[in-house]
Amino acid sequence: NAGVTQTPKFRILKIGQSMTLQCAQDMNHNYMYWYRQDPGMGLKLIYYSVGAGITDKGEVPNGYNVSRSTTEDFPLRLELAAPSQTSVYFCASSLTGGSNQPQHFGDGTRLSIL
Amino acid sequence: EDQVTQSPEALRLQEGESSSLNCSYTVSGLRGLFWYRQDPGKGPEFLFTLYSAGEEKEKERLKATLTKKESFLHITAPKPEDSATYLCAAIPRGSSNTGKLIFGQGTTLQVKP
């Protein structure tokens, strides 16, 4: 079982470039999440989805977009990269949003904007 | 405002030296308190979920406890392989259907042989 797979693992972008961070899960989970992790700041929720076709903003959505066309995939789009978006990005999934269902995380994408 | 705060930020222990990590929370109607372990270059790995004050859960050298204001992760006789960052996260009442977690900043534990 692969769990949650994120690609790429590392990426360097120039200011103003665009890119898509990929996330796929093979556990048939309905709920998926995107977080960013900055040093000393913990994980902050960017966007989440409760099922295919349904997405909503988290705590820090500005500068990002998402889509959820299938249960398995939840890509995160950066349209105009800015230095403030340098971070480690984690995708997670869970069967439901209930507190009895822990989120399973991928190993992250480390993104630098120069 | 819902908030989760962890202390200390970093902790160095000698192998075998027991200690505790703290997670204080101010959350409206706690629905669950999670502990995760994160190794360098990896994503968080689930350890425990606690639901109500007085609850305890154990796994090998780790024991998590919960009160109405904080949670502790007790590490008994740690080994170097316990070195990692430990994260706690809470689900408040308002997020009980979405699973939106509020994370603390984490405690980075280093256990020296």
Residue numbers of chain B with a pLDDT score lower than 70? none
Identify how many contiguous H helices and E strands chain A contains and give both numbers. 0, 11
Q: Tokens 């430990």 label which residue?
A: B86
Tens digit of each residue's pLDDT, chain A (114 residues): 679 999 999 999 999 999 999 999 999 999 999 999 998 888 999 999 999 999 999 999 999 999 999 999 999 999 899 999 999 999 999 998 887 889 999 999 999 999
Residues 6+ apart with CB under 8 A from A85: A63, A78, A111, A113
- Per-residue pLDDT at B34: 96
Q: How many C-beta atoms lie closer than 10 Å to residue A114's C-beta?
A: 10
Which residues on B lie below 8 Å from A108 (Cβ)? 41-43
CB contact under 8 A, B103 and A100: no
Is the Cβ pair A58, B100 closer than 8 Å? Answer: yes
> What token pair was written down for B22?
């703290």
